Structure 1
């Protein structure tokens, strides 16, 4: 099952099931968050709860997707009450290609020796998929901000005036919601563009943390599935209506150095990641990105990510903030 969140000009929200070429409205559902919390409270599978509340009301998915409807797509998940209760984070170095690209970024400083990044990737290869009941090696982890940085399909991703660059990172995001006791539940998966500042990161790998605090996007669809074993897809960048760069991509546990269970343990082992009613959007790593092949994106470039079986493509344009960076002064009380 695949679902989307929608909003109209009157700020009314709804959730719908994807039944191509239509979107079928779910009764009394203003957000995925609300639906998921209801399923947790009632102790019923989310898909069963949705199936019991489907209406006869339909929208044209094409019109919504192309921006020709009164209804617009929202991110596949958000915290509808307060974006501060939605954490955006991720795990890097889960795919060999991402480790190779990171190695290339820092080869000049390491004289061809294995970087710390490549070493962490190799640790994952050797110990990231432990036997059942065992704890595997800890992966790399990064923070991207709270829900205020999350963007919907068709919304722009911003290179801020203090940034050095911006580039797409095609990924899957795993979506989680904590219950009233802080127990995390995985809701599903969404197509994602993690979007980072690779020029800043290339200056020094210790700049990885600030290079990640950028807008990002997920959607349009939240896929309610338990497994993502081996998924193929395509990433592309268009400039002025022409394809500038494109590449086949793969993800899923079969293509990653860590099992999903291991990544989840090492994320939710921290008590502050298990606060009641929080939402977590966790990016699972990248297989390819244009910066790794020497592409520098420009204002107006269109980034597209699509995975087979994960719904329609996620599309976002890059926007550059060309205003002058000015000093922000902190006041003293």
Structure 2
């Protein structure tokens, strides 16, 4: 199986921010950059690949990854991507109804609101099935889109996710997020992918379909690793909920284009077709929708 480059962002109370490359069981720190955002911008400005730049910036300083991941080090993991100088210039958003399981769950949630055989959710999903994977050079059907907030809502591995006083629920949503930076000419560039918990208020949403938008305005987590890869065909894993050492619930998950009604290219086209999503030096964390759950 091909090994992909994995990056983390971390911080130390005295040494400040750093970027590390995962080389199990270590993190190898980079010189001269303090964020993936900065690293990517340097690569774009120099017109070289991130991989080429990594070879130039890699240091000999190694850190114990397990100690950091488990919280036994002064080093703390940060979200795998952010815009550290201007969090408001990083958009956190997502697309929905691209996986069958999510469409079925949404359909059940909103059945009481419609006398039709198909709810609006299932209609939008069916549009995706029929037109979400267009031929090369063609534009496919538009997916559902939602806004979550700016980069200030991003939480790191191990940080708590909070339910606001006005909220009704905090529900996990295991997803993959695409990570992007808009270059100085206004062209979006995909950096890679990261895991995430999109974390939404399903109770609020269930009250009325029109509450979907505010139910998404919550903090969420990404990371801890940003994977530099282009392949998004078929990904699988496991998601679980634990209390202490006890696993309360778990499910296998599947995502990637083979498990979706849309191509990644189609989702990216519809996200970045808006001029406000192509502002120079703007960061984007775009959730690619809850993975298909397979109960185990």
TM over 0.5: yes
CA distance in structure 2 between the aligned counterparts of 1:37 and 1:59, rounded to whole angstroms: 25
Correspondence 1:45 to 2:49: yes
**1:280 is matched with which residue?**
284
In 2, the alpha carbon distance for the partners of 1:187 and 1:240 equals 34
Q: Find the counterpart in structure 2 of residue 175 from structure 1.
A: 179
- The aligned residue for residue 28 of structure 1 is 32
- Name which of 19, 22, 32 aligns with 1:18: 22
Distance 2:249 2:266 in 1: 33
Structure 1 residues 205 and 149: alpha-carbon distance in aligned structure 2, compared to 1, 3 A threshold: same
Residues 168 and 289 of structure 1 are in contact (CA less than 8 Å); yes or no, is this contact kept in structure 2? no
User: Contact conserved, 1:84 with 1:148, CA < 8 A, in 2?
Assistant: yes
Deviant stretches of 4+, over 3 Å = none
> Residue 234 of structure 1: which of 226, 238, 259 is its match?
238
Q: Which runs of 5+ in 1 are unaligned?
A: 294-333
The yes-or-no answer on 1:90 pairing with 2:94 is yes
Q: Is the 8 A contact 1:169 1:288 kept in 2?
A: no
What is the CA deviation profile of residues 154-207 of structure 1, one whole-angstrom value per residue up to 9, with x for unaligned ones? 011111000000010000000000111111100000001000000000111110
* Structure 1 contact 170–289 (Cα < 8 Å) conserved: no
TM-score with structure 2 setting the length: 0.96
Count residues with an aligned counterpart. Answer: 291
- Are residues 1:81 and 2:75 paired? no
The reply to whether residue 252 of structure 1 matches residue 253 of structure 2 is: no
Q: Is the Cα–Cα contact under 8 Å of residues 96 and 287 in structure 1 kept in the other structure?
A: no
Contact 1:3–1:223 under 8 Å retained in 2: yes
Deviation at 1:108, TM superposition (A): 2.3
Q: State the Cα deviation string for residues 232-257 of structure 1 (Å, max 9, x = none).
A: 11111113432111100100111111
| 1:15-74 deviation digits (Å, cap 9, x = unpaired) | 010000000011111110000000000111111211222111100000110111111000
Aligned to 1:132: 136
For the 8 Å contact 2:100–2:292, the answer to whether it is kept is: no
- 2:194 is the counterpart of 1:197: no
Corresponding residue to 2:60 among 14, 31, 56: 56
Q: Which residue of 2 aligns with 1:213?
A: 217
Q: Where do residues 288-299 of structure 1 align in structure 2 (5 Å cutoff)?
A: 288=292
Q: Secondary structure at the match of 2:19?
A: strand
The alpha-carbon distance between structure 1 residues 30 and 138, as it changes in their structure 2 partners (threshold 3 A), is same
| Aligned pair partner of 1:223 in 208, 220, 227 | 227
Which of 73, 76, 87 does residue 72 from structure 1 map onto? 76
Alpha-carbon shift at residue 109 of structure 1 (Å): 2.5
Cα 1:36/1:266, change in 2 over 3 Å = same
Does the CA contact (< 8 Å) of 2:168 and 2:201 recur in 1?
yes
- Equivalent residue of 2:212, what SS? helix
TM-score w.r.t. the length of structure 1 is 0.85
Question: Unaligned 5+ residue runs, structure 2?
Answer: none
